[in-house]
Amino acid sequence: MVEINGNTYTCGLIGNPVEHTMSPVIHNNLASATGENIVYVPFHVETGRLEAAVKGAFGLNILGMNVTVPYKSDVIPFLSDIDPLAQRIGAVNTLVRTENGYKGYNTDMPGLLRAMKHDGVSVEGEQIILLGAGGVARAVAMLLADNGAEKIIILNRTTEKAQKIADEVNEYTGKEIVEVKKLDEYKSLASDRKYLAVQATSVGMYPNVDEAVIEEDEFYNMIHTGYDLIFNPLETKFIKLCRKNGANGFHGYRMLLYQGVIAYELWTGDSVSDELAEQVYEKMLVAMNA
Ligand code: NAP
């Protein structure tokens, strides 16, 4: 670990709660491995104190911050600038210090893309089933559209929310690339092909580990790969059902790793190799089981 001295810079995480975060494991190991004199700490920010936290961080010369639930959208008015991707997604998870204040970025989606690349999962030319229509699913739909998905079928319990995302993405792309169905309407999809499915609901997350948003084998027979964004547990029921039915199954822990790696690269200008990222990933696995 970095030895703290007069030249140490601080980075941190603002959110509520922050007590279970893995980000200190990611960033303190990266700092140690890359020789940067940086420490990373969690900051629990109470409701109503977000603006004071961002201004205070700037005043204290804090180099960079991550932002987590519930502040990813609320933080935007307190930034001096925002990256176009973060603006479009409407959520910021990384603040980078500039002369006048913090510039906001979203590294969750580039992180997912880098994780998928690591796992050998490609989006280009795919017909993709997106399960869920929450905040993350909205960003994922944008990401998939941006990266060459042929078609995105959003399946969600509340179809109004999914339709809103579809309208936004279709307007952005200028094509009718997204369509919306109820969860059980997957049965109406063409069965002469296999789909990539991205699982972006919160169903199956700890402690409800015995649930998947769709549980019928029939659904899993339609997909070649299932990519779950949940990372606790690592093997969700969704992933178990994918594997049971002969599909590949991946979890969201590497997405978490790579959103951190990309934030670290933005703060330091360093470039983190895949090899170093994997070493940090091993430490995350140890920390998760500790
Ligand atoms: P959110 O805005 O609360 O959305 C939750 C989604 O789950 C909605 O589509 C909701 O459907 C659906 N859902 C919840 N309970 C359901 C149920 N009983 N039956 C059917 N559908 C249900 O959550 P979010 O912020 O988008 O996060 C979604 C997931 O992404 C979380 O599990 C989180 O762990 C994961 N995530 C992972 C990473 C990573 O780094 N790997 C980063 C961020 C988030 P309705 O629209 O019908 O309510």
User: Domain of 146: which CATH number?
Assistant: 3.40.50.720
Same domain, residue pair 83 and 205: no
pLDDT tens, residue by residue, 24-40 = 999 999 999 999 999 99
Q: Name the percent of the chain lying above pLDDT 90.
A: 98
Domain count, the chain: 2
Integer Cα distance of 113 and 65 in angstroms? 21
> Ligand 1: which atom is nearest the Cα of residue 232?
34
CB 101 near ligand 1, within 6 Å:
no
- Residue 230 CB less than 6 A away from ligand 1: yes
The structure tokens listed for 220 are: 């899993």
The CA distance from 92 to 212, in Å, is 28
**Whether residues 125 and 194 fall in one domain:** yes
Per-residue pLDDT reduced to its tens digit, 87-123: 999 999 999 999 999 999 999 999 999 999 999 999 9
Return the residue whose CA atom lies nearest to atom 1 of ligand 1.
134
Strand partners, 29: none
Tell me: pLDDT of 1 over 90: no
Tell me, using a 6 A CB cutoff, whether residue 12 lines ligand 1.
no
Distance 101 CA to ligand 1 centre (A): 31
CATH code assigned at 52: 3.40.50.10860
- Do 16 and 74 fall within a single domain? yes
Rounded to two decimals, the pTM is 0.95
Task: In whole angstroms, give the CA distance from residue 16 to residue 19.
Answer: 8
Q: Cβ of 57: how many Cβ atoms within 10 Å?
A: 23
Q: Are residues 129 and 215 in the same domain?
A: yes
Q: Rounded mean pLDDT of the chain?
A: 97
Residue 1 lies in a domain: no
CB 233 within 8 A of CB 206: yes
**pLDDT of 216-271, one tens digit each?**
999 999 999 999 999 999 999 999 999 999 999 999 999 999 999 999 999 999 99
Is the CB–ligand 1 distance for residue 252 below 6 Å? yes
Is residue 2 in a domain?
Answer: no
Q: For ligand 1, say whether the CB of 256 is within 6 Å of any of its atoms.
A: yes
The burial class, CB within 10 Å (0-12 / 13-18 / 19+), for 290 is exposed
Ligand 1 center from residue 64 Cα (angstroms): 27
Please indicate whether residue 72 is annotated as part of the active site.
yes
Residues 6+ apart with CB under 8 A from 36: 2, 9, 30, 268, 270
Cα–Cα distance measured from residue 277 to residue 81, given in angstroms and rounded to the nearest whole number: 28
Residue pair 198/229 in contact (Cβ under 8 Å)? The answer is yes
Alpha helices for 174-233 (secondary structure H):
217-220
Answer whether residue 4 is part of any domain.
no
Q: Active site residue: 72, 103, 237, 240, which one?
A: 72
Q: Are residues 133 and 224 both part of a single domain?
A: yes
Answer yes or no: do 101 and 42 share one domain: yes
**Are 70 and 167 part of one and the same domain?**
no
Tell me the C-alpha distance between 160 and 180, whole Å: 9
Residues 126/133, Cβ–Cβ less than 8 Å: no
Give the range of the structural domain holding residue 34, as residue numbers without chain letter: 9-106+254-288
